[in-house]
Amino acid sequence: MEMTKTKVHNFSAGPGILPQEVVKQASEAILDFNNSGLSLIEVSHRDKDFMGVMDEARNLVKEILGLPDGYSVLFLQGGASLQFSMVPFNLLRPEGTAAYINTGVWAKKAQAEAKLLGNINVIASSEDKNHTYIPKNIVCPKEVDYLHITTNNTIYGTQYKNMPNCECMLVADMSSDMFSKPIDATKFGLIYAGAQKNMGPAGTTMVIVKNDLLGKTGRKIPSMLDYKIHIENDSMFNTPPVFAVYVSMLTLRWIKKLGLKEIERRNEEKAALLYNEIDRNSMFKGACEKEDRSLMNVTFVMNKPELEDAFSKYLKQANISGLKGHRSVGGFRASIYNAMPIESVEVLVDVMRDFEKKNG
């Protein structure tokens, strides 16, 4: 099957860009899955072919991160947003306290759900400067049940360069920077990531959890929210989102082939190209503290905001899509996830230069 080569440069924040080869393979499996004559989306999830997909996806996560024994990988539904509730249900004792760092909208939503189930302690916040930086020198009380962080703040374009030093269990929402660089996953008790930013389509959320942390709160947990039940059922307690898991598996194969080191090198190269232009170009300025700038979501504003519409027209003419900033921040946001080719970033940089020449 021939794919028409798309000329649109996709800077969408999420659902975001996927590798072209993955999109092509996924479209083929919709028509004929593993030469079965059936579509991927019309076979039983208990079929051995789909069970193989689920196993491969979970194993690829372990291989790519080099996870030791004792960790489980799950593909669940409900988005990263349901993890905001599942984390405290499973890890926060009714009389315990969980620490949260408020680095923006997603962090705050996570915090709000935990608050429904127990005590929370917001130990640091960047709210005073509309989340344009990552709080530093964090001291986390030893006795908390866990510390929750959002490693990459998709809306504002900030990212932790160093994880907070803490003796307690670290829980991380990595929705928008999962698999963008090598990490030591064993530093975390639990990691979750909605697939649709950097590893697949919307519809599934990957969870990595250290098994021995579970079953300790004494809470009664609804089955669908209980990590142990999902682990015991190999992530197939109920019908899994077969298409989303399949496409995530294909993306994980692509990630494994490249390796996280090479992915990081590419991401750094793309981000440097774009940030250098933002800093050089007299029409634009970066929206965040330089040291906390995200490699995934590059946010910037115009020195003359009245030129935003004119710049947007330039973007449209160059087939650049998805650059509008989040409604709570304004300006522009270029999401340059793993699958974004450097050529698309070059096109954007050229448009910015051109705009300066004509309007500067």
Ligand X SMILES: *Cc1c(COP(=O)(O)O)cnc(C)c1O
Q: Which residues are marked as active site?
A: 106, 173, 197
**Nearer Cβ to ligand X, position 79 or 322?**
79
Exposure class string for 117-135: b at 16+ Cβ within 10 A, else e: bbbbeebbbbeeeebbbbb
Contacts of 202 (CB under 8 A, 6+ apart): 15, 79, 194, 195, 196, 244
Instruction: Indicate whether 182 belongs to the interface with ligand X (CB under 6 A).
Output: no
In 3-state terms, what secondary structure has residue 302? Answer: strand
Neighbours of 55 (CB within 10 A): 14
From the list 29, 57, 74, 80, which residue makes contact with ligand X (rule: CB under 6 A)? Answer: 80
Instruction: Indicate whether 176 belongs to the interface with ligand X (CB under 6 A).
Output: yes
Least Å from the CB of residue 351 to ligand X = 26
Question: Of the ranges 75-83, 138-146, 215-223, 318-326, which one interacts with ligand X (CB under 6 A)?
Answer: 75-83
CA 33 and chain centroid, separation: 28
> Which residues between 192 and 251 bind ligand X (CB under 6 A)?
194, 197
Token pair 């599942």 is at which residue? 86
Residue of closest CB approach to ligand X: 79
Least Å from the CB of residue 111 to ligand X = 12
Q: In terms of Cα–Cα distance, which of 82, 79, 107, 109 is closest to 221?
A: 82
**Nearer Cβ to ligand X, position 33 or 243?**
243
Binding-residue pattern over the window 94 to 123 for ligand X, x denoting contact by CB under 6 A: ------------x-----------------
Instruction: Indicate whether 180 belongs to the interface with ligand X (CB under 6 A).
Output: no
Instruction: Indicate whether 150 belongs to the interface with ligand X (CB under 6 A).
Output: yes
Instruction: Indicate whether 159 belongs to the interface with ligand X (CB under 6 A).
Output: no
Least Å from the CB of residue 99 to ligand X = 18
Instruction: Indicate whether 148 belongs to the interface with ligand X (CB under 6 A).
Output: no
* Whole-Å CA distances, 144 to 103, 115, 167, 236, 346: 19, 14, 9, 32, 46
- C-alpha 122/C-alpha 89 separation (Å) is 18
Instruction: Indicate whether 81 belongs to the interface with ligand X (CB under 6 A).
Output: yes
CA geometry: angle 12, 13, 15, nearest 5 deg: 80
From the list 175, 180, 204, 299, which residue makes contact with ligand X (rule: CB under 6 A)? Answer: 175
**Nearer Cβ to ligand X, position 34 or 77?**
77
Least Å from the CB of residue 16 to ligand X = 10
Contacts of 23 (CB under 8 A, 6+ apart): 3
Instruction: Indicate whether 14 belongs to the interface with ligand X (CB under 6 A).
Output: yes
**Nearer Cβ to ligand X, position 12 or 344?**
12
Contacts of 88 (CB under 8 A, 6+ apart): 98, 113, 114, 116, 117, 118
Instruction: Indicate whether 126 belongs to the interface with ligand X (CB under 6 A).
Output: no
For ligand X, the binding residues (CB under 6 A) are 14, 79-81, 106, 150, 154, 173, 175-176, 194, 197
